[in-house]
Structure 1
Amino acid sequence: MTTTSKIVLGVLGAAAAGVAIGLLVAPEKGKDLRNKIADNAKNWADELGSWLNDRKSDATMAAKKMASKAEDLVDEAGQEYNRAKRSMS
């Protein structure tokens, strides 16, 4: 896990804890409070899932670019090999 990921998850965890504490100390009926906590938890989970999907897409795109560049390098190396082979003949 990268440092950036750790920081993001730490901030998200701290924010979630802050929201939960704020909701727990707010003067509301138990049922209303539970519903509000459930709604907020669902929203946070949706946002986190969306963020993770975006990062997955970014990683997939980076992997595809790297694979394409690797193929290009292999092709170039093959061409250089063939040129060297022809020049020795």
Structure 2
Amino acid sequence: MTTTSKIVLGVLGAAAAGVAIGMLVAPEKGCDMREKIASGARDWASEFTDWLTARQKDLKDIKNTVAAHAEDVADQAGAEWNKAKNTMS
């Protein structure tokens, strides 16, 4: 399990614990509390979706950088191979 997934699971666990404690000590009526929870969940889901979208962009950028670097390394290896081959001829 990666550090990022541990952090995400930790945040989710803390959020669930906070919701449970909030429901136990809330002085509001049940229907009002459910509406607040639903609204909070929608807000959180939207923020989480935005976060995931940003991370996907980051991963694509990293992938493109690594691919470009790998292509450069392959070109250099090919040049060295040709140089060694010409030297042996």
TM-based fold match above 0.5? yes
2:52 equivalent in structure 1: 52
Whether 1:5 aligns to 2:5 is yes
2:32 equivalent in structure 1: 32
Query: How far is 1:72 from its partner?
Result: 0.7
Unmatched 5+ stretches in structure 1: none
**Residues 10-43 of structure 1: CA distance to partner in whole angstroms, max 9, x if unpaired?**
1232124303431453111222211111000111
Q: Report the TM-score, using the length of structure 2 for normalisation.
A: 0.81
- Which segments of structure 1 move beyond 6 Å, counting only runs of 4 or more? none
Letter in 1 for 2:17: A
Supply the distance in 1 between the matched residues of 2:24 and 2:40 (Cα, whole angstroms). 13
Unmatched 5+ stretches in structure 2: none
- Greater RCO (CA < 8 Å, at least 6 residues apart): 1
Query: How far is 1:52 from its partner?
Result: 1.8
Q: Report the TM-score, using the length of structure 1 for normalisation.
A: 0.81
**Residues 66-89 of structure 1: CA distance to partner in whole angstroms, max 9, x if unpaired?**
111111111111111111222223
CA contact under 8 A between 1:23 and 1:37: conserved in structure 2? no
Corresponding residue pairs, total = 89
